[in-house]
């Protein structure tokens, strides 16, 4: 059955992979992000390629007044929303964030606070209706604090915990919540970063996310081998871990 799906952060590399996987299945998409030109390019590509509906919503998740506008537009729409994918993210600069409150605040807000505030609103609609699904993209960076990216990692870890609690609340109301923890993926976010390994193709990652959603999974690592890598990293005793330069 064709579903109507909102993708927040739709212009992101991983979200594009998700959008292609969903459009290929005939789902109707609403693509939301800040960059109007990129959204329009993506929407027309999806329409031409798959013959599916793709609308755009220009919005900044940091502007809470725009949450009101977005939610009002969705409520006033005759077609109901079946699902939401949240791929909004900002890696930022760890060293700068450690020294400058503005950069730290931006990382914390874009990766955790602002998406959680918006998802609260959308989740309440799904809860009242007793159906729907939410897929949120967290990160392996949220599984253990590391000196090289603990400000971004702590925001992603907070977002993962938020999604876990949301799942616990909504499961009894027939609403599925999937937490996605990607490893390194080849997108604008990671372009040119040193020291990356096992970098995944965003199209394959998008397909894996959509399949996991269809199977009703709760939490996935993509690619799947990151589950093992992260369980090893989490198992290192803190007394040893604090001396590692990770």
Ligand X SMILES: NC(=O)c1ccc[n+]([C@@H]2O[C@H](COP(=O)([O-])OP(=O)(O)OC[C@H]3O[C@@H](n4cnc5c(N)ncnc54)[C@H](OP(=O)(O)O)[C@@H]3O)[C@@H](O)[C@H]2O)c1
Q: Which of residues 101-140 bind ligand X (CB under 6 A)?
A: 110, 137, 139
**Per rule CB under 6 A, is residue 92 in the interface with ligand X?**
no
Helix (H, G, I), strand (E, B) or coil at 203: helix
Mark the segment that binds ligand X (CB under 6 A) among 12-20, 67-75, 166-174, 230-238: 12-20
- Name the DSSP class of 78: S
Residue 204: is it exposed, middle or buried by C-beta count within 10 angstroms (0-12/13-18/19+)?
middle
Which one of residues 189, 203, 229, 233 is an interface residue with ligand X (CB under 6 A)? 189
Please say which residue, 188 or 228, places its beta carbon nearer to ligand X. 188
Question: What is the smallest separation between the CB atom of 180 and ligand X, expressed in angstroms?
Answer: 8
Specify whether 152 is catalytic: yes
Which one of residues 50, 112, 162, 184 is an interface residue with ligand X (CB under 6 A)? 184
- Sheet arrangement for strand 4-8: 54-58, 28-33, 4-8, 83-86, 132-137, 175-182, 219-222
Mark the segment that binds ligand X (CB under 6 A) among 30-38, 93-101, 127-135, 223-231: 30-38
Q: Residues 240, 241, 242, 246: what is their CA dihedral angle, to the nearest 10 degrees? A: 140
Residue 144: is it exposed, middle or buried by C-beta count within 10 angstroms (0-12/13-18/19+)?
middle
**Per rule CB under 6 A, is residue 87 in the interface with ligand X?**
yes
**Per rule CB under 6 A, is residue 24 in the interface with ligand X?**
no
**Per rule CB under 6 A, is residue 154 in the interface with ligand X?**
no
Of 159, 203, 155, which is closest to residue 180 (Cα–Cα)? 159
Rounded CA-CA distance 224/182 in Å is 9
Mark the segment that binds ligand X (CB under 6 A) among 23-31, 180-188, 206-214, 230-238: 180-188
* Residue of 112, 152, 162, 221 with catalytic role: 152
**Per rule CB under 6 A, is residue 222 in the interface with ligand X?**
no
**Per rule CB under 6 A, is residue 18 in the interface with ligand X?**
no
Question: What is the smallest separation between the CB atom of 123 and ligand X, expressed in angstroms?
Answer: 18
Please say which residue, 35 or 95, places its beta carbon nearer to ligand X. 35
Residues 133, 178: contact at Cβ < 8 Å?
yes
First-to-last alpha carbon distance for the chain, in angstroms, is 45
**SS3 string of 44-60?**
HHHHHHHCCCEEEEECC
Question: What is the smallest separation between the CB atom of 213 and ligand X, expressed in angstroms?
Answer: 15
What lies within 8 Å, CB to CB, of 87 at 6+ separation is 7, 8, 9, 10, 12, 14, 15, 18, 137
Mark the segment that binds ligand X (CB under 6 A) among 20-28, 87-95, 116-124, 163-171: 87-95
Binding site for ligand X (CB under 6 A): 9, 11-15, 33-35, 38, 60-62, 87-90, 110, 137, 139, 182, 184-185, 187-190
């Amino acid at each position: 059955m064709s579903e109507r799906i909102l993708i927040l952060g739709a212009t992101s590399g991983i979200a594009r992979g998700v959008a292609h996987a969903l459009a290929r299945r005939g789902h109707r998409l609403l693509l939301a992000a800040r960059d109007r030109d990129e959204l329009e390019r993506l929407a027309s590509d999806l329409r031409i390629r798959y013959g599916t509906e793709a609308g755009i919503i220009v919005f900044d998740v940091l502007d809470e007044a725009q949450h009101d506008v977005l939610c009002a537009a969705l409520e006033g729409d005759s077609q109901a929303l079946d699902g939401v994918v949240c791929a909004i993210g900002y890696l930022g600069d760890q060293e700068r964030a450690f020294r400058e409150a503005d950069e730290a605040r931006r990382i914390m807000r874009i990766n955790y606070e602002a998406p959680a505030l918006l998802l609260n609103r959308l989740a309440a609609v799904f809860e009242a209706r007793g159906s729907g699904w939410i897929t949120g993209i967290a990160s392996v960076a949220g599984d253990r604090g590391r000196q090289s990216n603990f400000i971004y990692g702590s925001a992603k870890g907070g977002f993962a915990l938020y999604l876990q609690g949301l799942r616990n609340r909504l499961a009894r109301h027939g609403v599925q919540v999937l937490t996605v923890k990607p490893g390194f993926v080849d997108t604008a976010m990671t372009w040119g970063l040193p020291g990356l390994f096992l970098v995944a193709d965003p199209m394959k990652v998008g397909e894996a996310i959509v399949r996991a959603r269809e199977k009703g999974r709760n939490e996935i690592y993509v690619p799947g081998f990151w589950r093992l890598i992260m369980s090893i990293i989490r198992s290192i005793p803190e007394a040893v871990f604090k001396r590692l330069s990770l």
